[in-house]
Structure 1
């Protein structure tokens, strides 16, 4: 499945944690953001993401990012993984 990006669609950024994750919903039209903490649980995230109206889901490449990427694709969302690189 190939998702198409709508530039006006809300963006969801997820900071994945071992037990809980922080979600930041950003609306490009209003330039407003809201935050919500959710459990890092596959079943919960499936129902949570399924209820959201977002086009793009951004998260860090880490342990749970594989199944989250697959889940986003199943739900018709466009997943974007990024890697933090620390340079001294």
Structure 2
């Protein structure tokens, strides 16, 4: 385990930090999913934005994890790409 991992594990003992960390982790996970989806479609950000009828700036913010897309926005993206949005609850 490197120093960063050790420090993170220590910080995660704090409940407030743990909550903030989880919120950011989820944003980044969604960002990565959207980025991967766009890449698999073979589209740049402008093309992707046009296809899903969203602004390029909103796509950029979502892919960077700056903004968290709403469920309705994710549904719109899925529909525009001929996909189905699926959300799951899993054990920790």
TM-score, normalising length: structure 1: 0.28
Higher Cα radius of gyration: 2
Question: Which structure exhibits the higher relative contact order, with contacts defined as CA atoms closer than 8 Å and separated by 6 or more residues?
Answer: 1
Structure number with the higher strand fraction is 1
With normalisation by structure 2, the TM-score equals 0.27
